Structure formats: C-alpha cells, structure tokens
Amino acid sequence: MALPIVSVPMKKKQKPSLALTLSATGLLIIGGGVAYRLFSQGHLYSGNLLVGANIIPGDALFAASLTTDPKQWQKLQDFGTKESQAELNKNLIQLRDRFLTNNGFNFEQDIQPWVGEEVTFAILAPETSQPAPKPVATDGVANSQQSLVMVLPVKNPELAQKILAQPKALKTGKWIDRTYQGIPIKQSEGQFGTNLSATLLDQRFLVITDNPKATERAIDAYKNKTSLATVGSFAENFPKISESHSFAQFYINVPTAAKIATTAPNRRLPAQVLAQLQNNQGLAGNITLEAEGVRLKGVSWLNPQSQRLLSIDNTAGSMQQRMPAETLMMLSGSNLQRLWGDYILTSQGNPLSPVSPEQLRSGVKSLTNLDLERDLLSWMKGEFAVSLIPNTSKNGTPGDFRAGLVFMIKASDRKLAEASLQKLDDVIKNQYQFQIQPGTVANQPVVNWIGPFGTLTASHGWLDKDVAFLVLGAPVTDKIVPKPNSTLASNLAYQHTVPTELNPTNGAFFLDVERMVNNFTLNTLFPKQKTFLEATRSIGVTTSVSDSRSTRYDVFLSLKKSHNSAILPNPVSSPNISSSK
C-alpha cells in the first residue's frame, strides 16, 4: 500500500494566523496537485485548479481553498459531536477574525456581495535570498519568517474596488497607498501586530497578505509566470482529483517542506533522506461532503526531474474476501517486499520516521534470530493483509472482549516460506520454551504455539496452497479457516466506507472506529484524538499507482450526525455560535 510523505513539523510563533490555517484545514483532512492554463489574452484561472494557483508563488509550502457556499457549511454542521464541532468552530472563527473581524470587516455586508465560490489561503516559505531561516521546531506551526497569502476571486469588480479604495478604519495605525510594478497596493502602517497588505489583480483577484513582501512576491509570480500553477507536474496531476463544488482543496509542496525540515535543531534530516524527499514534488487533495461523511480524493507525484520511478503493482483486492465480516481493522497491500524497499528510501536515518529500518531489522533478529530480508521478506512478494479480528462468546460481556491479530501473505515461494516458518517454530520452542503442536481447524492442518501455562498463543498455516497466515493473541483461526461465509467485503459498514472508484488497487485500509474506541484503550497519536474518534464511525482508504510518477488515494470518513450541535461558521463569515440548531 503506497504511503504519502509525512508532514514536516514547524516552529511555534506568537501570531496565530499560520497555525490557524494549518489547524483548520488539518481538522478537515486525515493525516494534497494543481492544474494551470494560460490564455493568450492573459493569466486566466482554470476551474480545474486551486483558486489563485496563477498568483500563489511556486515555492509556497502549503495552500488550501475553502468554499464560501453557506449551504455546504450548513451541511458540515450535521456531522460529528458537539465537542468536535466546537473545536473546529474555534479554529475557523480565529482564522476569520485574523483577517476580517479584527480589521472592521463583516463578511455578509463587506465580502459576500462580490466574492467568488472559494477563497484560498497559502503559506509562503522564507525567500531564498534571505538569511538562513530560524530553526523549525516540531509542533506543526510555521515559523515567523513564513507569510500568509489569502486570494479572494472577484465576481463583482466594482464592489471589490470600492472596499479596497475605502477600507475600514484601523484600531491602531493607518492605511497607506503605494505601488509595485505599477499595481496599487493598500497597506497598513503603524498597526500593532501583523501589517496587512491588499491589492486587486486584473480586477479579478483580491490578494491579502500579512506581509508587504508577500504581496510583492504574489505580484511577481502572477506577472512572471512563476506561480504555483507552473510547478512541475502540477497541471498534470491536480485535475485527477479536482471536482466542482468541492468543500475544500489543498496542496503541499514536499521539496520545500523537506528543506525547511533541515533547519530543525534537534531532528535534522540527513542529507540522504533529504535527497530522497526531493524526488517527491507534491501532495494534493479534494474534499467533498456527502450524506454520511467526508470524502477525500488525493494524489501525490514525483518531481519531473527525478530519476526514481514508481512500480505499477495494483494487485490488491482479495484479502477482504478472506476476512470475516466482524473484522475490526484491515490493512492490505500488493507487495510487502516492495513496500519495505520504499519505506527504507525515506526512513533510513530519518529521525521523523515512526520506526527506523535498523530498529525493525534488529528487533526481528533479537526476537526470532531470523534475518528480516533474507528469511522473511524474500518470499513475501504477493498481496498481504494485517487484520484485527474479535473473538467473543455470544453471551460475552464488554470486559470479556478479546481480539486476534492476523497476518496473511500470498507467498511468492512456498518452499522458502515453509523453511522460514520451520526456523521460526524452532526459535519459539528452544528460546521461549513453547510447545509446537500440530493441529487441525475445519480439517485443515495448522501449527499451534502453546505457552508455558498451556495457553494457545499463536497458530499458523496455509490457505489455498500459497496464502500463509499467522494468528497472534486470541484464537481466531476458526474465523478464517475455512473461508468465512460472511466476509468483510460483504459487511455493509465496509461497503459504505471503503472507496471503490480506484480499480485495480495497490492497497486498502478499513477501521471500525466505533467498536475500536468502545473496546480498546488507544494511545494518543495526535492532538484532540479522542474528540475526533468519538465523532467518527469508520474510516476507509484505497490507493492505486496511477503511473510511474503518481499515486492516487481515496479516503472516506463515515461520521456520526448530531441534532444538537454547535453552529459552524464559514471561515470568513460572521460568528453565529449557538448550543443548538
């Protein structure tokens, strides 16, 4: 299963604007490409691209557009719990206040009459001509040298020009007029905090920034054709996921993010890791709201100059037919050996990786005395799956809940696989004093590992001659042997959650969040995790390698619905907070 590049942490700052942009958008997406078109008459915006892609500088670190359609924001408030909506509400209100309310503007009165269907926020990386940027910490907030650009498409130029010509009076400081490359700019001066700067480009885009230099960079990008729309392979890949009337779209510049990560004082990326990350160009996504949840269509692509090519191996799709309907979680992929090789490329020596390849190798060697690559991965070139299957009695209570971890792999060499499993049995017997006992399940042979206290700890065997399985924990072998009549693929929750548009697939993921939260104590992996999980029913993902340079991702979050929740605002509208609808 192909995996996207991990996000790059950033340094905390006093002003909240950049953090709010990341936080608000991050709450909408778990866990980003754009197209461009130039007409002979000028730099016109194409509906298949991120709004403002022809204005945002090409080295932008991050960009996201949000709809201004109040009906979509009304639809969003139907999802989740009161707590999850309040958390999102807080971030969006702060983002809106940062640019509008604090400067005397009201969305309904001052913006809505002339603004287009979407607005875009972009974070610009520090200019390369500047001194080396300040170190970047690991808390996900942009450093003080990064600027924020807001692009508002104009559907009524006269009204937009009027508000720019006669802006609201500032609480502190004053507005001044200046020009850059012949383009008028309205700029705040003497204001405490951020100095806002605004200009109207081609009577079609109102550009607002928190830094006068950022406005100049946007004008340069627009005039010199060095915008986001000209970034390598951007135009070819973003249309793969772009849709009309989407709720949000986003883009992440992977090479720029990797460069910024090299300034982290305590977790610097080694040169070889940085070189591998430079092979990647972008990650983009499109978010739409559906009746039962939120759908994300994503695409990632390599740098056009990269020598690296992706292997088109979309052979996953059968493991969900082998798992029982009650399966709590399943992660499947096409080729475990190749997945491991891809992981090594960006993880070896990378302090940001969850587990280093060296640790995995040494861990396998220490526990089993087997060589990970030679004894195991050498025969694991087929489709694989890791699943969590519950084993509870019909009259069991919640306290009796147990589950077995099931690993299943289609062996590319059965003789080699059998030799490795025999070595593993010998280690378990001699090093851990387990009993290795042959047995049968539904008249099919299995090998059981019996612990020192007579407890069945694990079982392994074969399905259909070339599919090996290993069950750890609760005894759930009888759930997969023989092939279950009611499979995970037939489970309605699975069918309604795991996207099916990508076919064939490179991998899939399914998680029954409700049952996992109710039966397990989960480690905290990200902020506000409990709030997010309590608002989610299930998560489904499918991936597919589109060609030698790009990979597609489809994600669906099945969300709970609340009939007594906080009102979520449009990020640029006036606040309207209530405890109920």
Cα radius of gyration (the chain): 27
Which carries the bigger pLDDT value, residue 448 or residue 277? 448
CA 288 to chain centre: 15
In the prediction, which pLDDT does 25 show? 32
Q: Which of 39-53, 59-73, 281-295, 491-505 has the lowest mean pLDDT?
A: 39-53
In the prediction, which pLDDT does 134 show? 40
120 and 27 in a common domain: yes
Half-sphere exposure of 447 (CA within 13 A, CB side): 17
In the prediction, which pLDDT does 180 show? 97
The residue out of 288, 323, 358 marking a domain boundary is 288
Let me know if residue 170 belongs to a domain. yes
In the prediction, which pLDDT does 156 show? 92
Question: Could you give the CA distance from residue 527 to residue 27 in angstroms, rounded to a whole number?
Answer: 10
Q: Which of 446-455, 480-489, 561-570 has the lowest mean pLDDT?
A: 561-570
Q: By C-alpha distance, which of 96, 125, 126, 62 is closest to 208?
A: 96
**Is the pLDDT assigned to residue 566 strictly greater than 70?**
no
Name the residue range of residue 173's domain.
17-288
Let me know if residue 497 belongs to a domain. yes
265 and 344 in a common domain: no
Contact 234, 36 (CB under 8 A): yes
**Is the pLDDT assigned to residue 286 strictly greater than 80?**
yes
Half-sphere exposure of 353 (CA within 13 A, CB side): 21
440 and 325 in a common domain: yes
pLDDT in tens, 420-469: 999 999 999 999 999 999 999 999 999 999 998 899 999 999 998 999 99
In the prediction, which pLDDT does 409 show? 98
Kindly list the distances between the CA atom of residue 528 and the CA atoms of 83, 241, 457, in Å, as whole numbers in the listed order. 10, 28, 35
Q: By C-alpha distance, which of 510, 480, 513, 514 is closest to 495?
A: 510
pLDDT in tens, 116-138: 999 999 999 887 654 444 433 33
Let me know if residue 552 belongs to a domain. no
**Is the pLDDT assigned to residue 498 strictly greater than 80?**
yes
261 and 213 in a common domain: yes
Half-sphere exposure of 95 (CA within 13 A, CB side): 28
User: What is the 8-class DSSP label of residue 573?
Assistant: S
Model's pTM, two decimal places?
A: 0.83
Let me know if residue 330 belongs to a domain. yes
Q: What is the mean pLDDT of the chain?
A: 82
Token pair for 542 = 């499918």
341 and 247 in a common domain: no
**Is the pLDDT assigned to residue 545 strictly greater than 80?**
yes
- Going through 308-417 in order, the beta strands assigned E by DSSP cover 329-333, 384-390, 403-410
Half-sphere exposure of 464 (CA within 13 A, CB side): 11
Token pair for 231 = 């970034």
In the prediction, which pLDDT does 272 show? 65
Summarize the confidence of residues 84-93 as an average pLDDT.
80
Half-sphere exposure of 136 (CA within 13 A, CB side): 25
275 and 343 in a common domain: no
391 and 282 in a common domain: no
User: What is the 8-class DSSP label of residue 335?
Assistant: -
Compute φ and ψ for 199, nearest 5 degrees.
Answer: -150, 155
Let me know if residue 299 belongs to a domain. no
Number of structural domains, the chain? 2
**Is the pLDDT assigned to residue 112 strictly greater than 90?**
no
In the prediction, which pLDDT does 17 show? 33
Which residue do the tokens 């147990």 mark?
402
394 and 284 in a common domain: no
221 and 316 in a common domain: no
261 and 316 in a common domain: no
Question: Could you give the CA distance from residue 283 to residue 290 in angstroms, rounded to a whole number?
Answer: 23
Q: What percent of the chain has pLDDT over 90?
A: 56
Q: Could you tell me what percentage of the chain is helix, strand and coil, using 3-state DSSP and rounding each to the nearest 5?
A: 30, 30, 45
Which residue do the tokens 């209570």 mark?
397
Let me know if residue 78 belongs to a domain. yes
pLDDT in tens, 178-209: 999 999 999 988 776 668 899 999 899 999 99
Let me know if residue 255 belongs to a domain. yes
In the prediction, which pLDDT does 24 show? 33
* Type and span of the H or E element at 151: strand 147-153
385 and 520 in a common domain: yes
Let me know if residue 154 belongs to a domain. yes
Q: By C-alpha distance, which of 110, 141, 113, 130 is closest to 15?
A: 141
339 and 273 in a common domain: no
Q: By C-alpha distance, which of 57, 33, 49 is closest to 149?
A: 57
